[in-house]
Amino acid sequence: MGLIILIKKLVILIVTCCISKVNGNMTQGNGGHSFHNTENVVNDNIEYALQLINDISIESRGTLCVTEQYRTLPVPIKGIRSEPARQRADMAALLLLDMGLSHHGSLQDAVARNLLLADATIISARVLALNSSNGLLNSCSWWVRTGLEGPRKLMEGIPKIGSLPDSSYPWYEDPLTSPSLKSSKFMLNPSNVSFKGWWTYPYYSCARSGWVMSYSVPIIPVHRPGIKGFLSIDIEISNLEINQCDYNPETSISNQIYAFYGTHKCHNTTTQCVYRGWNNPLTSSPSKGWVRGNYQCKCRRGFYSPRHNGVFNGTLVEVAWHEYQENSSSLWEEVFRCKKCAPGCSECIDLSPCLATYNWPFRISLLSVSVTCAVGSVVLVIYMLRHRKLKVFKVASPTFLAITLLGCATMYLEMAAIFPVLDMYSCIATKWSRHLGFCVTYTALLMKTWRVSLTYRVKSAHKVKLTDKQLLQWMIPILLVMLIYLSTWTLSATPTAEDITDVKGLKFKQCTYNWWDHSLAIGEVFFLAWGVRVCYNVRNAESLYNEARLISYAIYNISLVNIAMVAFHLFIFPQAGPDIKYLLGFIRTQLSTSVTIALVFGPKVLRVIRGQGDQWDNRARSRGVTASFSLNGIGLVPEETPDLYQENEELKEEIQKLAAQIEFMKIVHMEMNNRHLKPKSGGYFSAANVPVSLQSPVSRSTTGGLLLAHRGINENDTTMVDRV
């Protein structure tokens, strides 16, 4: 008989070990995800359960344990955390079903005891043998875990043999009246798994002084009538935590009861719930266990409270909420609600402002001036095109003048882009208007200046002819590079507005600056450096209406203005407010764009107003600049309709110069061939005025050259003389 019992014990141990290994793999694969399963609970039951938990935490070992030994919560808890223990219980129930319960009291003890030994989560196991006809208890084997002492058989407080088991046990239901254990004590089993028994709702046990959940399995032999069995195990769940805050997969853990998520009483709009459990390092003095209100209500970003530094104890919030629901107090609405911070404040302790104020009348006045200048630039384009046949505009390439004015109008529009409170769209408009306007304006001016440089540096008699069409072919690739760069910038790294602070710590929006801005700024610096070099090369060039020098002044001006504005922003006003920055932008636009228009177009418009727009620049003509030489280096472009009046005037000038040169040569030769004729004292060819040696033809020719230089004949006239 003893050998049979030993064999049975070995079988139970082997089976439980195999189940442990299988369940260990299952738990490892599913660990931490059980809380994702949705619990079907009613809000009223949850509130009742929270109130019950609060009462138990106050009354435990007090009136509760005097009147009753158990208190059940109507809140379902998934038993997947204890899945290995459940499978062991099912296996043990099958073993008892096969072996029978009639004459195997030692087998019942072995099963109950080995369940405790096989799984550390099981704190109690019991096997009951019942008479199938009257339900009286034939035998009871009840084993409990007692700390370090290990399992021991419970001899007191167990159901009496020959009596009906107490129906107040939360883990027991008479298998005669309810063979399937369909009772309010037990939770519904999942539909996708097959359980031999049922899990109870969690309940508080006074004997264990903790929260317990039991798994009960009825044992009903089919071919052995007379004895029915009942197996039940208890699982300690006091280590589970009641987290009433909203579910967050990043912070929530598997030992938190899913049913209580989102049951906090914080004001969702002004405060947020922060759990005070052991697993939250952000909270101080955490409390563990089954406690209602185990959280804090903290003011959300942008809200504050003058009380408790914006942090409210969850227990007090729970009490205030219940009083508010009963219309007995309004503290929950008045005290535990946070107030909104001043606009723009992410964190605050009072209603102090966080945003810098905008002086809108001042900004509107500056914007009005800028818009007026932009409209004036467009009007000037129309004015110039109407008078494009006048010499003052015609010799300066009206096409490039119009392009320059359109670029200036684009730069003026930057003030409209940075006028409102900046956002992504205004920052995009700011970048485009500033950089595209700069590129269009100064590329057009530098193309004209570069053409003058090429023409001026040619030393041969043959002129270099660069038409407007050829210059546009050079200018278009530069504009395409700028358009591609700005488009790529906008699509790949869209400019946005960021918060910065002024000297008072008040925040306002400013467009972000990154390596896209820095790269483009470096490119513009090199572009202006090339422009300064071109202007330096043409510093001595003579042109009609002195336009080359005026364009050079405009290029020098934009370079100095940009350097000065960078110094102002970085060193003098690094923490300037929004209005000061807007003023600096206005000053930069006026000093660069308006000065450029004044230098390039001011003299031309003034001549037209005075009625001298169709007259040649007499001072340039006196310096030897012919009417065929202009800023373009080509005079009137060949693709235009010939101007007969222009050609007649130039022909008259050339004939007059040629006649003067022939007359001069006659006088020189007469002096050289008639040595007996002496120049009059004080005359034009006297020795006092021109020290000439008349001893050889070579010296005479040198004398002629000196005389030509003395009379102010330019190199073109000398070339004409040589040809003659």
pLDDT digits 0-9 by tens, 644-665: 655 676 678 778 888 888 888 8
Is-contact 512 498, C-beta < 8 A? yes
Long-range residue pairs from 149-154, CB within 8 A, at least 24 positions apart, any chain: 150/116, 150/117, 151/113, 151/116, 151/117, 153/109, 153/113, 154/124
Asked if the model's pLDDT at residue 321 lies above 70, the reply is yes
CB atoms near residue 463 (< 10 Å): 13
Residue 40 confidence (pLDDT): 41
Position 116, amino acid: L
Highest mean pLDDT among 358-367, 467-476, 493-502: 358-367
Pick the more confident residue, 325 or 395. 325
* Confidence band, pLDDT 50/70/90 cuts, at residue 469: confident
Residue 627 exposed, middle or buried by CB count within 10 Å (0-12, 13-18, 19+): buried
Q: Which two tokens stand for residue 400?
A: 């490039």
Is-contact 239 209, C-beta < 8 A? no
Q: Which two tokens stand for residue 493?
A: 């790294």
* Confidence band, pLDDT 50/70/90 cuts, at residue 76: confident
Q: Which two tokens stand for residue 553?
A: 């002044």
Give me the residue spans of the domains in the chain: 2-236, 258-340, 360-622, 662-723
Pick the more confident residue, 264 or 677. 264
The pairing of strands 210-219 and 198-199 is: antiparallel
Name the E strands within 303-383: 303-304, 311-313, 339-340
* Confidence band, pLDDT 50/70/90 cuts, at residue 224: low
Mean pLDDT score, 183-199? 80
The pairing of strands 311-313 and 497-501 is: unpaired
- Give the architecture-level CATH label for domain 360-622: Up-down Bundle (1.20)
Question: Which of 194, 261, 239 has its CA nearest to residue 43?
Answer: 261
Q: Which residues pair with 298 in a beta bridge?
A: 272, 311
* Confidence band, pLDDT 50/70/90 cuts, at residue 27: very low
Question: Which of 451, 621, 459 has its CA nearest to residue 537?
Answer: 451
DSSP 241: B
pLDDT for 477-530, tens place per residue? Answer: 999 999 999 999 999 989 998 888 888 888 888 888 889 988 998 988 888 888
How far apart CA 375 and CA 581 sit, in angstroms, is 24
How far apart CA 483 and CA 487 sit, in angstroms, is 6
Residue 449 confidence (pLDDT): 80
Residue 175 confidence (pLDDT): 65
How far apart CA 210 and CA 61 sit, in angstroms, is 11
- HSE at residue 314, side-chain half, CA atoms within 13 A, is 25
Q: DSSP string of 223-270?
A: S-TTEEEEEEEEEE-TT-B---SPP-TTT--TTB-GGGTT---S-TTT
The pairing of strands 137-145 and 151-153 is: antiparallel
Asked if the model's pLDDT at residue 216 lies above 80, the reply is yes
CATH of domain 2-236: 3.30.450.20
* Confidence band, pLDDT 50/70/90 cuts, at residue 666: confident
pLDDT more than 70, % of the chain: 74
Question: Which residues touch 442 (CB under 8 Å, ≥6 apart)?
Answer: 407, 527, 528, 531, 555, 558
Helix (H, G, I), strand (E, B) or coil at 196: coil
How far apart CA 276 and CA 341 sit, in angstroms, is 26
* Confidence band, pLDDT 50/70/90 cuts, at residue 46: confident
Question: Which of 453, 437, 448, 455 has its CA nearest to residue 471?
Answer: 448
CB atoms near residue 549 (< 10 Å): 18
Whole-model pTM? Answer: 0.56
Mean pLDDT score, 695-715? 41
* Confidence band, pLDDT 50/70/90 cuts, at residue 708: very low
Pick the more confident residue, 400 or 718. 400
- The alpha carbon torsion through 462, 463, 467, 468 (nearest 10 deg) reads 170
Mean pLDDT score, 340-366? 88
